[in-house]
């Protein structure tokens, strides 16, 4: 740390103060070039399925595509296959397959630029080959239709983790933004957690209620992740984690990926999330098949691909990471951008190409290159190795 500061001071002395800001970015880019770049959550597959966007091109809208992932040093994005909770029963399973198929189209079109990763070793090999290592996740336990066989087949399709709920509670787990129907996890919910442990699938506790979170920790024998949550110390919303939850997560050996939604990082933007959740949870289309898919496409189009910029800034994201480090320790924090799934972004983190700004903010807070490598992938890789395997 001292050496690094000495380096910066020397540079400023040599080239004058005007160059200092640029130097900060240069230092960040150098650090960013050496990180694994794991991002625990994005919603970009929705753009592929709904809008047929080509993730191989540098797009003028949205927050993620292959060129911008490379620019931002995010080499291992977790692509969430998210089906809205108004898809019920087997409809949710069918729609999960549609998303898995959409992702396959991306993988098949660009085999020399992006590849499916299903182990820790895969991730390291693919990144060494300068390709994007795509990790697949399912976002919402309703997508297994209460059937462990479906869960097991998702794992066989290369899906490495599952978020237990989305905004609504499902038949076996309460959500942080849904009705507390079960006081946490039901006996079947506990079975889901045990089965995920057994088949090497990471349990993701983002979105679940506080009680569900503590129930999961009672049952799991493996580390869990909160793929895209932040801290209530930054913004007091139910999707974020209390300090007590952060400490419990550390004890479990888990990792929280800090979410970049402005509402999660700055209290001034918190109201926006409330409206977003209320709107999402009020939808009850009562349709099936193609009619339901058309409804979902229209609803998705209303959200749009040009997000607003909130009061939150890239410094708020760095401060939230710093808070997790102070409470849970440096080994239990990562990145979970939620890019392409958040309606409001922080200034300075508008899309994935801006990631070096976050590294610059962390350097400014005194973080060493070694620490930043943990935050930007090392910690998540450890969990993948422990749960999914080599
Ligand atoms: Zn989510």
336 C-alpha to ligand 1 centroid (Å): 10
β-bridge mates for residue 225, sequence order:
204, 255
Report the alpha-carbon distance of residue 372 to residue 329 in Å, rounded: 13
208 C-alpha to ligand 1 centroid (Å): 10
154 C-alpha to ligand 1 centroid (Å): 19
37 C-alpha to ligand 1 centroid (Å): 20
Say whether 296 sits in a helix, a strand or coil. Answer: helix
Q: Which residues neighbour 103 within 8 Å (Cβ) at sequence distance 6 or greater?
A: 45, 48, 79, 81, 134, 136
> How does pLDDT run across 153-201, given as a tens digit for each residue?
999 999 999 999 999 999 999 999 999 999 999 999 999 999 999 999 9
Assess contact for 225 and 255: CB atoms under 8 A.
yes
Assess contact for 266 and 237: CB atoms under 8 A.
no
216 C-alpha to ligand 1 centroid (Å): 18
276 C-alpha to ligand 1 centroid (Å): 12
φ and ψ at 195, to 5 degrees?
-65, -40
338 C-alpha to ligand 1 centroid (Å): 7
- pLDDT value for 14: 37
- pLDDT value for 390: 78
DSSP assignment of 66-82 equals HHHHHHHT--EEEEEE-
165 C-alpha to ligand 1 centroid (Å): 9
41 C-alpha to ligand 1 centroid (Å): 8
9 C-alpha to ligand 1 centroid (Å): 42
Number of other CB atoms surrounding residue 130 within 10 Å: 10
25 C-alpha to ligand 1 centroid (Å): 30
341 C-alpha to ligand 1 centroid (Å): 7
Assess contact for 281 and 142: CB atoms under 8 A.
no
- pLDDT value for 24: 61
139 C-alpha to ligand 1 centroid (Å): 7
11 C-alpha to ligand 1 centroid (Å): 42
- pLDDT value for 304: 76
Report the alpha-carbon distance of residue 168 to residue 185 in Å, rounded: 14
Q: Which residues neighbour 134 within 8 Å (Cβ) at sequence distance 6 or greater?
A: 77, 79, 103, 106, 107, 114, 115, 116, 117
Q: Which residues of the chain have pLDDT under 50?
A: 1-21
151 C-alpha to ligand 1 centroid (Å): 19
> How does pLDDT run across 362-383, given as a tens digit for each residue?
999 999 999 999 999 999 999 9
265 C-alpha to ligand 1 centroid (Å): 15
φ and ψ at 227, to 5 degrees?
-65, -30
| Percent of the chain's residues with pLDDT above 70 | 94
313 C-alpha to ligand 1 centroid (Å): 20
Full-model pTM = 0.93
């Amino acid at each position: 740390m001292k050496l690094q500061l000495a380096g910066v001071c020397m540079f400023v002395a040599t080239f004058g103060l005007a160059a200092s800001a640029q130097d900060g970015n240069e230092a960040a880019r150098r650090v960013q070039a050496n990180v694994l770049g794991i991002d625990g959550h994005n919603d970009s597959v929705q753009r592929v399925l709904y809008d047929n966007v080509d993730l191989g091109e540098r797009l003028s809208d949205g927050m993620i595509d292959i060129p911008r992932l490379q620019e931002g040093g995010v080499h291992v994005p977790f692509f969430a296959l998210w089906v809205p909770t108004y898809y019920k029963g087997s409809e949710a399973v069918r729609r999960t397959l549609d998303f898995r198929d959409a992702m396959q189209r991306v993988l098949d079109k660009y085999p020399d630029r992006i590849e499916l990763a299903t182990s820790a070793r895969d991730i390291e090999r693919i990144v060494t080959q300068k390709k994007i290592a795509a990790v697949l996740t399912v976002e919402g336990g309703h997508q297994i239709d209460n059937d462990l066989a479906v869960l097991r087949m998702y794992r066989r399709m290369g899906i490495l983790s599952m978020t237990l709920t989305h905004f609504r509670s499902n038949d076996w787990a309460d959500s942080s933004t849904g009705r507390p129907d079960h006081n946490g996890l039901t006996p079947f919910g506990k079975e889901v957690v045990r089965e995920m442990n057994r088949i090497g699938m990471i349990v993701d506790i983002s979105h679940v209620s506080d009680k569900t979170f503590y129930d999961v920790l009672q049952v799991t024998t493996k580390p869990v992740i909160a793929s895209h949550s932040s801290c209530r110390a930054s913004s007091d919303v139910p999707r974020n984690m209390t300090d007590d939850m952060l400490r419990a997560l550390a004890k479990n050996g888990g990792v929280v990926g800090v979410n970049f939604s402005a509402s999660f990082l700055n209290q001034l933007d918190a109201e926006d999330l409330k409206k977003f959740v209320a709107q999402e949870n009020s939808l009850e289309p009562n349709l099936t098949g193609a009619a339901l898919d058309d409804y979902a496409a229209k609803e998705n189009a209303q959200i749009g691909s040009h997000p607003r910029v909130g009061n939150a800034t890239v410094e708020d994201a760095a401060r939230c990471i710093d808070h997790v480090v102070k409470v849970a320790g440096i080994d239990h924090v990562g990145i979970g951008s939620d890019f392409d799934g958040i309606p409001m972004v922080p200034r300075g983190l508008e899309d994935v190409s801006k990631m070096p700004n976050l590294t610059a903010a962390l350097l400014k807070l005194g973080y060493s290159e070694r620490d930043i490598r943990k935050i930007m992938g090392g910690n998540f890789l450890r969990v993948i190795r422990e749960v999914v395997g080599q």
